[in-house]
Amino acid sequence: MKKSIITIFTALVLVLTAGAQTLNVQVGSVIYQFPAEQTGDMTFSDATTLTIMGKEFTLSDITSMVVDNTAVTDGVISVAYSGTTATVKVAGNIAKYVTPVVNGAHVNIAQSDDLAQEITYILSGSSSDGEFYMSGSYKATVELNGLELTNATPVSSGAAIHIQNGKRIKVKVISATANTLVDAAGGEQKGCLYVKGHAEFSQNGTLNVTGNVKHGIKTGEYVTVKNCTINVVSAVGDGISCNEYFLMESGEINISGTSDDGIQSDLDGEVSTGETEDHENEDSGNIYLQGGTINVNCGAIAAKGIKAAGNITISGGDITVVTTGKGEWDEEDLETSAACGISADGNINISGGTISLTSTGSGGKGMKCDGVLTVDGGTINVITSGGLYYNNGTTENTNYTGNTDFVNSAYYSSPKGIKAGVKDESGSTVTYSGGIVINNGTITVTTSGRNAEGIESKNYFNVTGGHITINAYDDGVNSAQNMNISGGYLYSRSTNNDGMDANGNCYISGGVVCAIGSNSPELAIDANSEEQKKVYFTGGTLVAIGGIESGSSLSQACYSTQSWSKNAWYALYSNNEVVFAFKTPSSGGNPLVVSTSGTTTLKSGVTVSGGTSYFGGNGNIGGTVGGGSTVSLSSYTGGNGGGGPGGH
Amino acid sequence: MKKLLLLLAVISCLSFGTVAQDSGEDGAFRDGYPYIAFEKTDGTKTFVPSSSLIITTSGSTLTAGDYTFNLAELNKMYFSATVGIEDYEMSDPSQFVIDDSSEIYDLLGRRVKIDKMHKGVYVVKTGNVVRKISMQ
């Protein structure tokens, strides 16, 4: 009897402590996992079907039913690839809402429209000929958990992952995992990773993508990136192409080997909503770069590193774009088109981050927008080295050296560091839009190709602050309309044209301006005197090597010398206090004009130590100045005296 | 000793009842289903141990462990925490068919007659089926 009591107690304890149980119903490569506590009645019908939690199985289709202690997470479907096969496991609570079809390692899962809860798809394993295709109408999460997937022979799609679902799709690149996707070269897919809806990339893993037909990653709606690393190894189209908007919060994106743009954001509809609060229902074509690292290397013809149909807003992050492609003749627009590091059809707003743009192709630009470029912070470095691109639809010249004054502007693309705004000429009517406003930040532009201006505004150019250093082949700064400098630090040198060229008036009322033009007839500071425009100089600290436009209004007294030494340090004094020291260039026009708010004097051949360096090491404020000899200055009212640099 | 055993059985039933109170809307237990019950269309049930149970179908038969069923006779199957003990709540004992062979016990292990059943919990054994009944 004692034994019986012990047995009863043991049985009781066993019953009370038994673990979770799961009924695994396998149909081919799909295993439906029903937790015991959820199943309730599992009903048979007509000796042919078994229904479990609303999922009806044809008994003859069932490979096996096994009870084990597998833990099941509600709402999860896992897909494990292995060579030419894939095993799909479906949590019982969502079984009735999905229809998985597995053909080798090609997995197609259709979500029912009745589904009202989010499913998480966990993809893992490796296949050299597989795919993941999911369709549905309810938001979902796709976890990439160590997945190597190459689609060789498309079944549902040529994409490695194809999400035919217009809702929000979270793409979690699981931390500490590497995931590689390669799509089918023979497919018709829009991207190696295609999402019909909006994709939110997150987690700390790495995703490598190769797009053999079109884009690396393509979404029908917006893309956000947080934490994860995305490497587009190569793509026949863009590296990442999306609609509505693109937002990068953090993480890393590396794009190379593309035959088109690096990152492109387009409008989904016809009319932009503009930026909306919290991006709710936004369809703007905007790009928001808030943090993280972006490296884009585009070698394609006329490719853009980062391109937006709307605005581009950069508030943080490290962005490096290199374009090497030449320009091309655009058959649709009947004009030339050239490569560009960052390009927006709308505005570009920069308030933070570090941006490095290099363009080496013919006609290539660093940054361009049709709207207003506003810089309120950040560090921007631009280098272009490509020559002038010419193409009239039949003849191409990647280093055109002819005079463009009499060439249809549609036939050539000039390389430029930064260009903003649009000048539209329709008959005798000329309209200007966009422009450039620099309030803060550090901008360095270097151009060396023919016709390459440093910064060009097709409308106004306003500077209230910031540090701007330009070394350009053509005009350092050119504006189609007025130029207005009221603060900041501006160094603008051209080796073959004007340092600063305003086709409207040029107003200088503050800041430190160091403008260097090439030899006569070019000027340090030019205004459109042919149309009765002037340079209005009312204040600030000024160095103008090459002179100022004749007929200018110089209400703050200016002084000049026709003789100046190349590559020498000068110290500019105001009321006997050094306000600015500068190093003269290796070439430049005459005269050297200076002005300060006080009594202005100048010393040449000085030594400078300490202080704060400006203009790429060619300027100094606050340093200790020694030695040198006083320069004899004459009162100056405008015009240049012709000739090259005097002295040494 | 017989009383002690009966008491233990009652405690066992109470324990199951406690788990059942934690159950979800479907009334299923959350922890431990050592059996799968196969119920035929005539109401008879067979309780098959669920641990590592393999269920297969072939033609007109279904095999679960050592048991084989005619599919045409099967109505349903379900996970069960006990060998035939089920929970019923009713206000009228006539809702529950008890034949002459039924044995009814209260929680003290005392056998009672059906017309003496009052509000409370009882264990009813009819044939091989044992049910725990809560009279409301």
| Residue B32 C-alpha, separation from nearest chain A C-alpha, in angstroms | 4
Residue whose token pair is 């600063």: A500
Which residues in chain B are closer than 8 Å to A9, comparing Cβ atoms? Answer: 8
Residues of A in contact with B14 (CB under 8 A): none
Q: Span B69-91, mean pLDDT?
A: 77
> pLDDT grade, residue B100 (50/70/90)?
low
Average pLDDT of chain B? Answer: 69
Torsion A256-A147-A193-A293 (CA) sign? negative
Distance in Å, alpha carbon of A64 to nearest chain B alpha carbon: 6
Least trusted range by pLDDT, from A241-250, A397-406, A624-633 = A397-406
ipTM above 0.85, yes or no: no
Which of A37, A56, A57, A72 would you mutate first to test chain B, the one with the most B CBs within 10 A? A37
Say whether B32 and A64 touch across the interface (CB within 8 A): no
A475-494 tens-digit pLDDT: 999 999 999 999 999 999 99
Residue type (1 letter), B118: H
- Mean pLDDT of all residues in A560-583: 97
Is residue A240 pLDDT above 80, yes or no? yes
Tokens of A482: 């007025």
pLDDT of B17 higher than 50: no
Residues of chain A with C-beta less than 8 angstroms from the C-beta of B51: 67
Say if the Cβ atoms of B33 and A36 lie within 8 Å.
Answer: yes
Q: How many residues does chain A have?
A: 648
Assign B127 a pLDDT band (cuts: 50, 70, 90): low
Q: Hey, are the CB atoms on A47 and B24 less than 8 Å from each other?
A: no
Mean pLDDT of all residues belonging to chain A: 94
Q: A52, A65, A66, A68: which to substitute to probe chain B, counting the most B Cβ within 10 Å?
A: A65
In this complex, the residue of B28, B57, B60 whose CB is nearest that of residue A40 is B28
> Residue A5 pLDDT more than 50?
no
Among A347-351, A394-398, A403-407, the least confident range: A403-407
CA-based nearest residue in chain B for residue A3: B5
**Mind telling me how many Å the CA of A145 is from chain B's nearest CA?**
29
- pLDDT bin (cut points 50, 70, 90) of residue B129 is low
d(CA A308, CA A347): 9
- pLDDT confidence band for B97 (50 / 70 / 90): low
Chain A residues whose CB is inside 8 A of the B34 CB are 14-15, 18
Which is nearest to A69 in space by CA: B53, B25, B23? B53
pLDDT digits (tens, 9 = 90+) for A356-382: 999 999 999 999 999 999 999 999 999
> How confident is the model over A169-185, as a mean pLDDT?
98
> Tens digits of per-residue pLDDT, A199-230?
999 999 999 999 999 999 999 999 999 999 99
Q: How much is the average pLDDT of B13-34?
A: 40
Q: Which range, of A31-45, A612-626, B80-94, averages the lowest pLDDT?
A: B80-94
> Stretch B32-52: mean pLDDT, rounded?
90
Question: In A360-495, which ranges are E strands?
Answer: 365-369, 372-384, 389-391, 396-397, 412-413, 416-420, 422-426, 429-433, 435-447, 453-457, 460-463, 467-472, 477-479, 483-485, 489-494
Look up tokens 């989904």; give the residue.
A268
pLDDT higher than threshold 90 for residue B88 = no
Using beta carbons and an 8 Å cutoff, which residues of A are at the interface with B? 1, 4-5, 8-9, 12, 14-21, 23, 36-44, 47-48, 59-60, 62, 64-68
Output A643 or A313, whichever has higher pLDDT.
A313
Q: Residue range A265-284: average pLDDT?
A: 97
> Over pLDDT 90: what percentage of chain B?
27
- At B31 the pLDDT is 39
**pTM of structure:** 0.87
Residue A541, classed as helix, strand or coil, is strand
The rounded percent of chain A whose pLDDT value lies above 70 is: 96
pLDDT tens-digit profile of A506-519? 999 999 999 999 98
pLDDT of residue B130: 66
Which chain A residues have a beta carbon less than 8 Å from that of B81? 15
pLDDT band at B27 (very low <50, low <70, confident <90, very high): very low
